[in-house]
Structure 1
Amino acid sequence: MSRHYHGKLCICLLVVLCSTVLSATNDSKESVADELYNTITERGIEAGITQFHALKKNHSDDYDFSEPEINGLGYRFVLENKLDEAIAVFNLNCELHPGSANAYDSLGEAYLRKGENGKAIERYEKALVLLANPDVDENTKNALTQNAEAKLNYLHSPDIYRSSTELNDFLANNDRYPFGRLNPQAPPETEHWGRLAGEWDCIVEARLPSGNWVKVGKAKWLWKYILDGFAVQDLWFQKWIDLRATLASVNRDVVGTNIRMYLPAEDRWEAVWLTNGKNTTSRFEAISDEEKIVMTGEHAQGGLARITFFNITQDNFDWKSERSQDEGASWTETLRIHGKRLR
């Protein structure tokens, strides 16, 4: 067990002990914590929440609904490593005592233990806001401020930074960073592509042999930081709506992925594209700045390929693919993509 959690375990035991003593000294009211603990343990958290609201509505004068009472119940479940139950109880405490910094601090602790770091950060930050109230006891303010700030430093440190690299977690629900984030230690150029992190609706246009342009497909393009925030991956899902263009001759939807990483020693990007479209793998080098990104490599059908991202804003971008069959002396534009951010 880490020193971080060992210290908190001692605090948990103290909280449970204190809440038990406080309940015992209040002879006029029954312990709502004991009632809820038995119900949740025997019948589940939903039954416990239902009982909580029923008791609060019909027996508010008979039971102790104080913040320490319910907080102690939450920590009983923390000590049993029943974190879903603890989170539910701490949420009830925040609902009942919305001005309590201690209630939010405890909820942050439960989320931290469960590994839901984004939610933990939000609750610790909320606790600090509430602690700014001049009516908060000075000793309480000092203790909770020290704890919340220490936890936030821990959560924001590079050691705690995590970004999923599993494809089935590509859109994993992370309230604060659903598409990952740039690692503070990564080359800043990583953000040239990382700024596209999110979900995009795309329209694909292709150039016919006649030289005319037609809309040939619609696509979803999903982007996310991977490899602990040092690289960027995207997933491309395209449905053809017009197969007249020679480049759109594959009669099935296209699913593909790019992995892109900046190489600071060489001041360039390297990208790999894999797709089911024609069962191809393509490698590209790229240079980037704040205005555009230019990729170059071998074209799947022979010759050279050049791909350019440009007109990049927070909510839109343009993309074009060009082909050269004379070693780069001249280029012919073959595909266009117009992207609009969904989130």
Structure 2
Amino acid sequence: MKVNHYFIMFLLSSLFTYSQSESFPKSWFKDEPSKNLPYGRLSTSKIAPTNDFDKLIGVCDCKSVSRQADGKWADTLSLKWRWKYIMNGNGVQDEGWFGNKDNPSYFTSIRSYDKTNKQWYVSYFTPNLSAIPSTWTGRKEDENIVLKRETKTPNGKSATSVLTFYNITHQGFNWEGKIENPELPNGEYIFWKIFCEKQFSSN
């Protein structure tokens, strides 16, 4: 008996399409980044995080300045910082590009919210990782977002790494990274500052 190969291909294709649509309903992706939602959107599900980062969602043009090994501030660099919702609106990812055309640098962070303890877990990644990614925890404090993790100073003393988002509006935000230790002058050492203006937004 001859078999119509085109019919078999059509049947298999139909079954595959049906299986795909049944296995992956559209509701799984409705808050993901897409053509209509380039940065995704916050989920309304029971596991959804708070909207702490909502004003940051979009793309910012930023100016970045950090400390050199000798403690002096380096030249200001341009930084592009993009924020979006991921995991169908149940998490936040940011991506950064900075440096110059001959020596670019990249980073990304994944932000997941712990509803039980009401805090964010933020893990930081770069292309040249040589150890377990660093993770900060924190929450919104007044109008700022403050994240912390325990660390060591260069001479081995216990310290706290503190990352703070402040001056947060729909037009932009500022960011500061510092080390806190009672033995440091003024009890802290600011190692990185970023000043951002919003270029593209979901709002």
Same fold by TM (over 0.5)? Answer: yes
- Equivalent residue number for residue 97 of structure 1: none
Between 264-273 and 285-294, report the one with greater CA deviation. 285-294
2:79 aligned with 1:219 = yes
Question: Higher helix fraction: Structure 1 or Structure 2?
Answer: 1
Residue 174 of structure 1, aligned match among 17, 26, 35: 35
3-state SS of the aligned residue for 1:195?
helix
Higher relative contact order at CA 8 Å, sep ≥6: structure 1 or structure 2?
A: 2
Contact 1:236 1:257 in 2 (8 A): yes
Residue 253 of structure 1, aligned match among 104, 111, 115: 104
3-state SS of the aligned residue for 1:191?
coil
Contact 2:49 2:91 in 1 (8 A): no
Q: Which structure has the bigger radius of gyration?
A: 1
Residue 55 of structure 2, aligned match among 175, 195, 199: 195
User: 1:310 Cα shift?
Assistant: 0.2
**Structure 2 segments unaligned to the other structure (5+ residues):** 1-20
Residue correspondence of structure 1 range 44-63 to structure 2 within 5 A: none
* Identity, % of aligned positions: 25
| Superposition TM-score, scaled by structure 2 size | 0.70
User: Matched residues in 2 for 1:187 and 1:327: separation?
Assistant: 41
User: 1:215 Cα shift?
Assistant: 3.4
Residue 270 of structure 1, aligned match among 114, 121, 140: 121
Identify if the C-alpha distance between structure 1 residues 300 and 235 changes in structure 2 by more than 3 Å, giving closer, same or farther: farther
- Equivalent residue number for residue 3 of structure 2: none
User: 1:159 Cα shift?
Assistant: 3.4
User: Matched residues in 1 for 2:65 and 2:48: separation?
Assistant: 32
Identify if the C-alpha distance between structure 1 residues 159 and 252 changes in structure 2 by more than 3 Å, giving closer, same or farther: same
3-state SS of the aligned residue for 2:39?
coil
**Structure 1 segments unaligned to the other structure (5+ residues):** 1-114, 116-157, 165-171, 242-250
User: Matched residues in 1 for 2:122 and 2:178: separation?
Assistant: 17
State how many pairs are aligned: 171
Q: Amino acid of the residue matched to residue 174 of structure 1?
A: K
User: 1:334 Cα shift?
Assistant: 1.3
User: Matched residues in 2 for 1:327 and 1:260: separation?
Assistant: 31
User: Matched residues in 2 for 1:221 and 1:261: separation?
Assistant: 18
3-state SS of the aligned residue for 2:75?
strand
Contact 1:161 1:228 in 2 (8 A): yes
Q: Amino acid of the residue matched to residue 112 of structure 2?
A: M
Contact 2:31 2:88 in 1 (8 A): yes
Question: Higher strand fraction: Structure 1 or Structure 2?
Answer: 2
- Equivalent residue number for residue 173 of structure 2: 317
Residue 149 of structure 2, aligned match among 288, 291, 297: 297
| Superposition TM-score, scaled by structure 1 size | 0.44
